Structure formats: structure tokens, C-alpha cells
Chain A
Amino acid sequence: MVQVGTSRVKRGMAEMQKGGVIMDVVNAEQAKIAEAAGAVAVMALERVPSDIRAAGGVARMADLSIVEEVLKAVSIPVMAKARIGHFVEARVLESLGVDYLDESEVLTPADDLYHINKKEFTVPFVCGARDLGEALRRIGEGASMIRTKGEPGTGNIVEAVRHMRTMMSQIRKVQAMSYDELMAEAKNLGAPYELLEAVHKTGKLPVVNFAAGGVATPADAALMMQLGSDGVFVGSGIFKSENPEKFARAIVEATTHYTDYELIARVSKGLGTAMPGIEISKIREADRMQERGW
């Protein structure tokens, strides 16, 4: 019997993206540049996170004509973002044929209590997380892929590093625990017990875990890979840099060969200026996107 939308098919899609770079794009032209540079997927948006941050107001699902334009422009998978809790935006994007949905804190949340019940969907979801508890809650709701939240649109890697280090450290701790300690730890982390038990047994998340939120240079991408990321999302970092094509190619190469420092040096030379960055302490707490989601 043929089965679509099984957890193996949804999680498997993310497995195929491993070791790759997923790039934010706002039109067909950028999508083609990303594909030509070796992106494993593109995220179709109306504005990249740094512009969303600058524009303020309510950020919603992208203009669907942009999503359609990108779907037609490339043969690699296309992702798109829906607001946290906005299952109708998600259904609309699914109906267009988008390959992966990001229930994303970059957009203004539509629900201040609940995330989307992602198990109901045929299309897989990726969600952001800052720690193991948050990651396992999202997986419990049906997310097939996790990424760090970082702090989107800042070009500042510090938050993504903190989130990845926190998650990896918590995973190691859970793996080393005795069975007796797991239920109390599930309570501490706010994580579903069965998923925590799986982490205890395998020493890893049950889904692929990417880095996102602040990656601006090839060295940033390699750093996140060495900290344990399975791959990298680059939002504003490519098309807000001086030379997007070169930046895109360089970040792809640094993600593949993340321990080859001579190669990273070679691809990092003559790239021009990276995107402008923002110091996290200069962003008011209420404006920090990573605080969105529960």
C-alpha cells in the first residue's frame, strides 16, 4: 500500500538536506543564483529577516505570487514560512506544492498559546528551538526537522551558537542519565517523555538539526557544523552581502569541508563585505524574535 506523509517520508526529506545550505530568497532571480551556487533548498520569502526587522509591523506569510515564482524557477526543494500557530497559512502553502514549511518566529505569531498540530499535514515542517525541551515539544507536535532559532536578521552568530551548545550539552546530559532520572528531567525540560527516552537511547535528536539565525560568513557556517549542526540555513547573510553569488558558493563549500581551514581561508578571500550586523544587547527584549514560540 502506498503511504504519503508518513513520519519516515517527512523526516527523510530533511535527511536528504544534510551537509547542505538552505538559502532565503525573495524572487526567481535570487532562487536561481542560490541553486547555481549549490543550495540544497531555498526559502521563498517576501522579505529577508533583516528587512522584516527593519520594517516592523506585522510580518505574515509571503505574497503567494512570489512563492509560485520561486517554485517555477528552480528544481531544488522550496520552503516557505507560516506564522506560529497559523495553520491556515500552512495549509495554503501546502496546497501550492511547497516542499517544506517553516513555522517561524521570524513572522509575527498568530497564536500566543499554541503551535500548529503538524502531524496532520502531508508536507513536513521545520521549527526553531533554543534548547532540548523546545526542540522535543516541536517534534512532539510533528516537526520533522529542527533548527536553532538564533537571532534572525542580525548577522550575529552568538545566539545560534548558544542555542546549539545548549541543545548538545543537554543531549549529552540526558544520554548519561540513569533511566530513573528521565521522568524528572522530562518535567524540567518540558519535553515529552517518550521523545526524551529516545534521546537517552540514541544520543541525538530523532530528526535532523540545522543551524539558523545569524549565519553571515563561511566561517560562521563551519563553526555551526563543528558544534554539531547537520546543515545550515542562511537568511539575510547571502543577499544582504556585497557579492551574493560568491558568498553563496563560499558558504556551501565551507559547510561541506567544515574542518578544512585552508579551504575555508581560500573561499573566504576577496568576498567583499558581509551583511551589516547587529549587537544583540542593542535589540530590545520585546523585539527579539527568538522569544516568540512556547
Chain B
Amino acid sequence: MKIGVLALQGAVAEHVRLLEEVGATAVPVKKVEELDDLDGLVIPGGESTTISKLMHKYGFMEAVQEFGKANKPIFGTCAGAILLAKQIQGQDDCHLGLMDIKVERNAFGRQKESFEVLMPVAGVAADYPAVFIRAPYIMEVGENGQVLAKHEDKIVVARSGHYLAAAFHPELTEDTRLHKYFLDMVKEYRS
């Protein structure tokens, strides 16, 4: 199983390390052609405005949209979830618009309000260490979507078919369970 981590900006090495720990071959992706032989893709945490600008510049928008439409799984964490979403609160446009969710950016406040908490994630863990950094949250999940975790009534992990989005940063922990869950998704869609 070969999984790419979009490496334009953000916490790339951390995702690579956790994916390798659960048995995937993980590679940073800086050029569009590197998407070709991947079975799945992770869009990491970082600054969504920066990553989006660089994606536009290098033709990643269309390429990742095609990747998603070819039924290849994509996992977005924090900024990655914003990039995947079909709707962004307060904005007319979106970025990739692949996943049927609506998100609000910086929904928990500024850095001094950033936090960590142990929370249950359905089908993944009863006590997942979730690190929220200037995090977004998921306001709505489309018809076929599943809510996997909530924090104080706000949706923070959701899945819709072969798309997975987390508002927090699994890459900042040593916990591999969410990456294992994603790897299982990739296996499911590959077969």
C-alpha cells in the first residue's frame, strides 16, 4: 500500500512516520506526477491558505480532484479537512470541494484557546488523544456521511465514502490508530 503525503507545507514528516508505523509505504508528494502510483493520499495540517495557493500554482487542484474521483481515499487533517470540504463557512468558494462537509475555520479561537483532550472516535478508539490547534470544526456532514467524533457537540471527525476528515492533528501524537483506520480504508477501496 503506497500512501502519499502532500508536501507543499505543513506537518509532512509526522504523517509519513505514522503511516510507516502501521505498515504503509509513505512518500512526500511535491509534484503532481508523484500522485500517479499512489493508493491513497494524506493532506496534512498546516496553513490552509498557503497550501491552497501552492496547490493552485502547481496544478494540484485538478490532479487531486481526479485522484478523489477515481475512488482513491484521501485523509485530511485540520487544514487538510478545510481543503477537502465542499463548503466553508463565510466563503463563497471552496478549495478541492471533494467531501460533502461544511467547515468553519479557526472555530475554536486563536492559539491561546488551542487544546488537547482524550476523546472517543467511533470505530477507532475510546480514548484518542486529539490535539486541536487553531482548529476548524465540521458544521454539517452530507447525507451519506458518518460522524465519527464530536467535541462539545461539534463534529470533529467525519467520513464520507472514501474521504476522511479530522479537525485535530493525529500527526502530533504517537497514536497510530487513526492512521491504521485510514490504511484499512485504502485497502478496502483498492480491492
Contact = CB atoms under 8 A, between A and B. Distances in A.
Decide if A and B are genuine partners.
Answer: yes
Interface of A: 1-6, 8-9, 12-13, 15-20, 35, 37-41, 75-77, 94, 97, 99-100, 122-124, 252-253, 256-257
B114 interface: yes
Contact of A4 (B9, B45, B114, B171): B114
A243 B162 CA distance: 44
Contact of A6 (B7, B8, B116, B118): B116
B60 to A, nearest CB: 12
B105 A40 contact: no
Contacts of A16: 10-11, 45-47, 78-79, 133-134, 169
B37 interface: no
Per DSSP, are chain A's interface residues mostly helix, strand or loop, or mixed? loop
A19 B111 contact: no
A87 to B, nearest CB: 16
Contact of B50 (A2, A13, A39): A39
Contacts of A19: 7-10, 12, 46
Nearest to A9: B114
7 contacts: A3-B116, A16-B10, A16-B133, A18-B11, A19-B9, A77-B111, A256-B30
Contacts, number: 112
B61 to A, nearest CB: 15
A75 B54 contact: no
A176 B110 CA distance: 40
B169 A12 contact: yes
Contacts of A76: 47, 49-50
Given A4-B113, A16-B134, A97-B110, 13 more contacts: A2-B117, A3-B115, A9-B114, A9-B133, A13-B111, A15-B172, A16-B10, A16-B45, A18-B12, A20-B50, A40-B9, A76-B47, A123-B112
Contacts of B110: 97, 99
Given A13-B134, A18-B46, A75-B106, A257 B112 contact: no
A92 to B, nearest CB: 13
B47 A253 contact: no
B141 interface: no
